[in-house]
Amino acid sequence: MTAPDADAHHGYIGDKAKYLNRLKRIEGQTRGVARMIDEEQYCIDILTQISALTAALQNVALGLLDDHLAHCVADAVQESNEAGAEKLAEASKAIARLVRS
């Protein structure tokens, strides 16, 4: 993974508060699932909540990926062909990891 420039701003910076709020809600949902298990609730209900958590995390990941493509990759493409190709390869690897998970 290539380290970004120290002065570079990440594509998600404009939505940072939105991402942090969403992750706090996901954290609360995770604690809720743990509580469900501790209280020995019905398996299907727990699996339903885990499915909702998975979808919420995927939505955060897709938003970050979209921001990365629109900002970091687009900036690199304008900088040079080499920088653009490097950022596209990095994004492609990140997409592959998301698809596998």
pLDDT tens-digit series, residues 37-94: 999 999 999 999 999 999 999 999 999 999 999 999 999 999 999 999 999 999 999 9
More confident position, 27 or 14: 27
Q: What is each CA distance from 43 to 34, 35, 36, 57, in whole angstroms?
A: 12, 13, 9, 21
Does residue 7 register a pLDDT over 80?
A: no
Residues listed for the chain: 101
**Residue 10 pLDDT > 90:** no
Claim: this prediction has a pTM higher than 0.75:
yes
